[in-house]
A = this chain, B = another copy of it.
Amino acid sequence: ADIEAGKKKAAEVCASCHGVDGNSPAPNFPKIGGQPRTYLEKALKDYKTGERKDPIMAGMAAPLSEDDIENLAFYYSGQSGLYVK
């Protein structure tokens, strides 16, 4: 997987809701930075196939290629994620 490609795709597709670093500002969206890479890949694949259903994420995942998904999971799993309070 290509982390720079993941970062670029993240900025284009994901960041407006999930933040560039995956630390979502919005209360209804999960924080995805620092989540396990395997978990993020599964989530995106499941949204793409419809196995996991969400009207927003279905639209976001539909155009992603398998490479895009791997790159995004690689990128976001390496971000800092949540604050430590």
The interface of chain A, by Cβ under 8 A from chain B, is 24, 26-31, 33-39, 42, 51-53, 78, 80-85
The CA-CA distance from A52 to B30 in the complex, in Å, is 15
- Which chain B residues border A37 with CB–CB below 8 Å? 27
Who on chain B is nearest to A51 by CB? Answer: B53
**Consensus secondary structure, chain A interface:** loop
The CA-CA distance from A28 to B85 in the complex, in Å, is 24
The CA-CA distance from A26 to B42 in the complex, in Å, is 14
The CA-CA distance from A31 to B82 in the complex, in Å, is 10
* 11 A/B residue pairs, CB under 8 Å, sorted by A: A27-B37, A30-B35, A31-B36, A31-B81, A34-B82, A34-B85, A35-B82, A52-B53, A53-B53, A80-B84, A82-B84
